[in-house]
Each structure stands twice: as C-alpha cells, then as structure tokens.
C-alpha cells in the first residue's frame, strides 16, 4: 500500500507541463498552455494544460486528468506503474509489500556512496591546513564546518576513486554518482580535485551530490556534480534541510551560492537556502511553498538583473508566494556583505526588499531620463506590460503611483493599459480557441451534467451533501466513477473542504475516476444558496429519470428476447415490471 503522502509528493515534484511537453508541443496561452490533443485527431488546439492547477483538459473530446493519468492514458500503464515511473524521475522510490524495488536498491547504493565520499572529503579537510584556513578566514566556524559537512578534495587524480574501490564500489557506481569522469582514452579520474567541497543534501538531509570550489583564481570557480538519479538541481535547494529543521521566520531567503547560504547561517540567519546556481523552477517553488508563503531573493546586483532570474521570480509568484527582491549594494554578494557589515546591516537590507512588481518597475526605470518626453512614454509603455498580469486592485495602486511619478494622468495610463490588454487577448484568441478552463466544445448529456453538478454541490455545500445522502444511493449514478466519488465524498464529509478535495484525489487509482474528479472540480455551477434544496432536487430528478429510462430499455430488450424464445410467462412478468417502472416515473 502506497501512502497518500508519497503519492502527493510524487505529484508535487513532477510538473505536469514538463511531463506533457515530452509528447505534446505546448504553447503558452494566457495562464495555461495549449496544444493538439494526444487523445483524438484535431487540427486546431483544444487541449489545455494548467500549470497552476496541475491538470489537463481537452475541450474537444472531454479527456481530463492529472500527471498520473496522462501517463496511464498515453503509455498504457497502470496507476502503480505510472506512479513508479514518475517517482524514478524525482528520486522517490516506491516499495510494495511483496517486493523490494530495484530502483530503491540503486538509490540506497548511491546514498551510501555519497556518504562515504563526504566522509573522505571531511577527513581530508581536517588533515589539510590550507583548506581549513580557507573556511576559517571567511568567518566560518569549525562547528558550522562540521554541521554542513564541508570537506576538501585532494590534489590528486584518483585518490577518491581508490578509496571507494577499496570499499567495494565499482567504477560504474562512481560514474552513476557523478564522482568520477571517464576520459576519451578510457581511464577514470576524480571529478573533484584540489577544491573545498560542499555536500548537497536533499530536504530530508540525505547527501545527493557535491559542489566544489577552488581556493584561488583557477577556472572554473565552482564545479558541481552532474545530474544523476539523486542529484537534480531543479528539485532541490541547498541548505533546505537545515532551514526547515528550525524555521523561526515566516519567510525564506534565497541566495545564489553555497558560501552565501553558509555565511548567513553563520550569522544566525538560518532561513537561507541557495538555488544551486540555476534559474528557479516550479518544483523548487512548490518545495518552498510547503513551509512558507513569502520569499526574499538576495542575489548580487548583476545576477538579479538577468532575464532568466526574472522568469524564476515569476515562477515563485505563480506558486502563490509573496516574492520580494533584495539587491545587495555595490554588486557584492551576500557572503561578502554580511562579513563586512554584519547581521544588523543585512537585516536592514531585508526590511527594504522590494515587492516583485516594484522591483521589475525599478529595473525598467534604471537609466531613464524622466525629463525627456519620448523616454517617459517609453517607460510608461514598459511598465504597462508589467501591470497587465496583475489583478484590478493591484493595477489601480500601481497606476496611481506611476501617474504621480510621471505627471501623466491616470486615465491616460488606464487607456494605454486597456488597448494593450485588448491586443493581448486578440493574440491569445489567434493562438487558440481555448481561452480558459471554463469553455466546452462538446455537448454533455443532461444526466451527466446533473451527476457532476450534484457531486460538486456535495463538495461545496453541507446542506446539499446531507440532502443527497438522504435521497440518493450510489447505484442511482450512471457512471461507475461517480459512484466511487459519491462514496468518497460521504466518507470524508467531516473534513474541511480543501483538505477533502486533496484527500479524495489521492484515494483514486483508476483513470476514469481521476478524470471525472478533475471534470467535477472544474465544473462551473451557478445557484442560489438560499434555494439549494430545490437545485439539488432538480439534479436528483434528472439522474433518476435517466436511470428509469435505462431500466425501461433493458426490460424491453429482455421482453423481446423472451418472446423470441417462447418464454411467455417470463415475458408477462417483465411486462408488469415495465408498467410499475412507468408509474414510478410518473408516466402514463
């Protein structure tokens, strides 16, 4: 039995856009992505993927689901096989009760191999005065050196290779862990040589890879483990295991380098993590969102201006995080700044961190001569591009700010914004006929609408749930998936609504039920809360009407069959049953 926690973790760490993009060419269209549906033939895109909700839906054929069902459907896999495949992608092993997963055994070997390598580097640090002084001279105490497992890779071509082979590991094991490199001539040598080392831990505290830094001006300055089965930069954050162990603040600080992170921890700022030198990803954003709702980016001035970094910040915002940007003065990195100026000075920088929108506007403003009318108009046009993604309230606030700053009337800015948004909408319509998840291009039968509506109401309205429980049985539903969902909703009626939604999805293991669950969650219902009983009754009436009609059809087929076989008595009994059903349905 696989725990709900493991299933949720696998879903969280596998971005649905990444998975679907491997087989479907997707284009950004508003908040979603669109492409040609892989489940039916079409020339105009009707297949929509929501990165925010982590679901897909085709408005041409009605297919819907999550990242698990997509693999089940496209690769003809079972729920368990899909889960295993997704688990392997993000280094989450799934063990069943009757077998030990081969993937788990591979991961366990890699973990133990990395631990042995970390011990080797650690021992070498203690024996090398120059390497130890490198850390001590940068203000890192011996206690913190031990806590972060810092080490030193000797100036040797194969010292680690020899050490680990003596422990029983093979060259292939070390290659898989990214600890050695194979030359074109077929010889093997250590990846990390004459560098101080930083073991990289996952959020659980397991060693998944290493970083190495030179102690002089040699290039490259930093060297990291390659992507392995364990080490995936886009999923992990350096220092996360230490941060969540004793998280006292309601936000996290994201820095760029190992030493930046360690330096902040040294000064008691223990809510700092490092992004492993890559642009931030949706998986990293989700990992952070588990623990806090706010992040402060503390990159150096040069790095913070890069377009890739800005995209990473937008990803954090899309994950629901309040994003602030701290620019370290004079192009210094956080490590250098805090060592030179102390914790209090860095705390002042934190207090002045700009909200993401303000930061983006400040970058646009840099170098603009506000006295030049042409430059001023160009500046406002660029700011408007930033404002188009905001909600109306936020737009109002920033438009007033820009109006005061530029002396341009706010109505003129509103007009410019309106034209910009209209043009944007036209481009999106040209790209796809699917503007959002609310539009349908196919017709649903009345009973199906009624079943989905009733289940949605049961999720959202306690009175609807009680009334449906009183007047409905699971057998009344036409779809088997709806019968399962009816039972699941009733079984979790005491849970809070959002927790119930998540828990129910984790209990579903067949493709049809998960697909219908997505359809129901996205189903739009409009009703008067004061007249909810009447609305529920209408749904129940439609559902039972269809059930009666189907029963009549089934009986008529049997009557014809019995008559053809000469079974007149059986035929007459069924005819009586048919009359009873007609009366039950209020028909004459």
Domain-embedded: residue 587: no
In DSSP terms, 222 is beta-bridged to: 213
Q: Is 522 found in the same domain as 406?
A: no
Domain-embedded: residue 321: yes
User: Which of 12, 570, 4 has the alpha carbon at shortest distance from 287?
Assistant: 12
Sheet-wide strand order for 207-213: 151-153, 195-201, 207-213, 222-224
Q: Is 424 found in the same domain as 347?
A: no
Rounded Cα distance between 102 and 107, Å, is: 9
Q: Are strands 55-58 and 64-65 parallel, antiparallel or unpaired?
A: antiparallel
Give per-10-residue mean pLDDT for the chain (588 aa): 82 89 89 91 91 90 93 91 87 59 76 96 96 93 95 96 96 95 94 96 91 88 88 88 88 92 94 84 85 88 58 83 88 87 94 90 84 85 85 87 88 84 57 47 78 92 91 92 93 84 89 91 80 90 87 80 79 76 55
Q: Is 195 found in the same domain as 141?
A: yes
Q: Is 201 found in the same domain as 147?
A: yes
User: What's the confidence (pLDDT) of residue 159?
Assistant: 96
Per the CB < 8 A criterion, the answer to whether 244 and 237 are in contact is no
Domain-embedded: residue 586: no
Q: Is 356 found in the same domain as 371?
A: no
Q: Which residues are CB-contacts of 524 (< 8 A; sequence separation ≥ 6)?
A: 438
CA 533 to chain CA centroid, Å, is 38
User: Which of 55, 33, 54 has the alpha carbon at shortest distance from 46?
Assistant: 33
**What is the dihedral sign for C-alpha 168, 171, 172, 174?**
positive
Domain-embedded: residue 96: no
User: Which of 262, 276, 277, 268 has the alpha carbon at shortest distance from 138?
Assistant: 262
Written as one string, the DSSP assignment of 141-162 is -HHHHHHTT-EEE-S-SSHHHH
Pick the last residue of a domain from 376, 408, 431. Answer: 431
Per the CB < 8 A criterion, the answer to whether 211 and 223 are in contact is yes
3-state class (DSSP) for residue 432: coil
User: What's the confidence (pLDDT) of residue 433?
Assistant: 47
Q: Which structural domain, as residue segments, surrounds residue 64?
A: 4-89
Domain-embedded: residue 233: no
Count the Cβ atoms, other than its own, within 10 Å of residue 248: 8
Per the CB < 8 A criterion, the answer to whether 97 and 1 are in contact is yes
Q: Which two tokens stand for residue 320?
A: 């629901």
Q: Is 214 found in the same domain as 128?
A: yes
Q: What are the angstrom distances between the C-alpha of 513 and each of 47, 69, 87, 480, 520?
A: 19, 10, 21, 8, 10
Please state whether the predicted TM-score (pTM) of the whole model is above 0.85: no
State residue 133 phi and psi, 5-degree precision: -65, -30
Report how far apart the first and last C-alpha atoms of the chain are (Å, whole number).
53
Rounded Cα distance between 81 and 96, Å, is: 12
Domain-embedded: residue 441: no
Alpha helices in 446-526 (DSSP H): 446-460, 462-471, 480-491, 497-507, 511-522
Computed on alpha carbons and rounded to an integer, the radius of gyration of the chain in Å comes to: 30
Q: What does the DSSP 8-state code read for residue 320?
A: T
Q: Is 421 found in the same domain as 516?
A: no
Q: Is 214 found in the same domain as 313?
A: no
CATH for 193: 3.90.980.10
Q: Is 138 found in the same domain as 30?
A: no
CATH for 340: 3.40.1360.10
- The residue written with tokens 């299933």 in the block is 7
Domain-embedded: residue 182: yes
In DSSP terms, 182 is beta-bridged to: 188
User: What's the confidence (pLDDT) of residue 477?
Assistant: 93
**What is the dihedral sign for C-alpha 35, 63, 235, 77?**
negative
Q: What angle do CA 160, 165, 170 make, to 5 degrees?
A: 110
User: What's the confidence (pLDDT) of residue 438?
Assistant: 46
Q: E strands of 106-258, at which residues?
A: 151-153, 180-182, 188-190, 195-201, 207-213, 222-224, 252-255
Q: What are the angstrom distances between the C-alpha of 207 and each of 242, 262, 410, 467?
A: 13, 16, 55, 54
Q: Is 111 found in the same domain as 48?
A: no
Q: Is 542 found in the same domain as 469?
A: yes
Q: Is 471 found in the same domain as 418?
A: no
State residue 297 phi and psi, 5-degree precision: -85, 120
Q: Which residues are CB-contacts of 425 (< 8 A; sequence separation ≥ 6)?
A: none
- Torsional class of 476: left (φ above 0), alpha (ψ -120 to 50), beta (otherwise): alpha
- Between helix 79-89 and helix 67-75 the angle, nearest 10°, is 110
How many structural domains are present in the chain? 5
Pick the last residue of a domain from 224, 256, 274. Answer: 224
Pick the last residue of a domain from 89, 118, 135. Answer: 89
User: What's the confidence (pLDDT) of residue 300?
Assistant: 67
In DSSP terms, 180 is beta-bridged to: 190
Per the CB < 8 A criterion, the answer to whether 54 and 66 are in contact is yes
Domain-embedded: residue 83: yes
């Amino acid at each position: 039995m696989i725990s709900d926690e493991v299933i949720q973790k696998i879903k969280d760490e596998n971005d649905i856009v990444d998975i679907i993009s491997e087989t479907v060419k997707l284009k950004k269209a508003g908040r979603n992505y669109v492409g040609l549906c892989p489940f039916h033939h079409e020339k105009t895109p009707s297949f929509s993927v929501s990165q925010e909700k982590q679901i897909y839906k085709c408005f041409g054929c009605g297919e819907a689901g999550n990242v698990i069902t997509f693999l089940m459907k496209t690769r003809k896999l079972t729920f368990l096989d899909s889960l295993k495949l997704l688990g392997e992608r993000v280094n989450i092993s799934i063990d069943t009760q009757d077998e030990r997963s081969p993937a788990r055994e591979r991961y366990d070997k890699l973990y133990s191999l990395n631990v042995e390598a970390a011990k080797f580097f650690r021992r070498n640090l203690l024996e090398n005065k120059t390497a130890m002084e490198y850390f001590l001279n940068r203000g890192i105490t011996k206690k913190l050196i031990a806590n972060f497992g810092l080490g030193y890779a000797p100036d040797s071509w194969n010292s680690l290779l020899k050490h680990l082979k003596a422990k029983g590991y093979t060259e292939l094991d070390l290659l898989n862990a990214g600890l050695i490199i194979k030359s074109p001539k077929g010889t093997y040598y250590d990846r990390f040589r004459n560098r101080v080392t930083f073991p990289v831990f996952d959020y659980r505290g397991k060693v998944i890879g290493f970083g190495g830094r030179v102690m002089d001006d040699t290039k490259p300055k930093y060297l990291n483990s390659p992507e392995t089965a364990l080490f995936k930069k886009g999923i992990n954050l350096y220092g996360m295991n230490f941060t969540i162990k004793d998280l006292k603040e309601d936000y996290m600080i994201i820095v760029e380098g190992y030493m930046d992170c360690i330096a902040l921890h040294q000064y008691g700022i223990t809510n700092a993590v490092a992004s492993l030198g890559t642009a931030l990803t949706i998986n990293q954003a989700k990992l952070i969102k588990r623990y806090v709702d706010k992040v402060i980016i503390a990159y150096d001035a040069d790095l913070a201006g890069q377009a890739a970094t800005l995209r990473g910040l937008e990803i954090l915002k899309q994950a629901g995080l309040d994003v602030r940007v701290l620019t370290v003065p004079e192009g210094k990195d956080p490590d250098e700044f805090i060592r030179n100026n102390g914790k209090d000075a860095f705390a002042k920088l934190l207090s002045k961190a700009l909200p993401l929108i303000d930061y983006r506007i400040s970058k646009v403003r840099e170098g603009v001569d506000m006295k030049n009318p042409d430059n001023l108009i160009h500046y406002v046009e660029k700011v408007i591009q930033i404002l188009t993604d905001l909600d109306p309230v936020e737009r109002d606030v920033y438009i007033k700010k820009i109006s005061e700053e530029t002396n341009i009337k706010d109505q003129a800015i509103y007009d410019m914004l309106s034209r910009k948004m209209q043009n944007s909408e036209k481009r999106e319509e040209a790209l796809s006929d699917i503007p959002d998840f609310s539009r349908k291009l196919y017709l649903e039968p009345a009973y199906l609408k009624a079943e989905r509506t009733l289940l949605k109401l049961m999720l959202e309205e306690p009175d609807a749930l009680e009334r449906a429980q009183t007047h409905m049985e699971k057998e009344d539903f036409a779809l088997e998936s709806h019968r399962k969902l009816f039972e699941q909703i009733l079984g979790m009626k005491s849970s809070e609504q959002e927790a119930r939604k998540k828990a129910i999805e984790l209990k579903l293991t067949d493709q049809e039920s998960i697909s219908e669950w997505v359809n129901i969650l996205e189903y739009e219902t409009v009703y008067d809360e004061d007249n909810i009983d009447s609305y529920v009754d209408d749904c129940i009436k439609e559902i039972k009407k269809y059930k009666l009609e189907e029963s009549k059809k089934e009986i008529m087929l049997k009557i014809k069959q019995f008559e053809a076989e000469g079974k007149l008595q059986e035929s007459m009994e069924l005819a009586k049953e048919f009359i009873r059903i007609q009366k039950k349905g209020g028909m004459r």
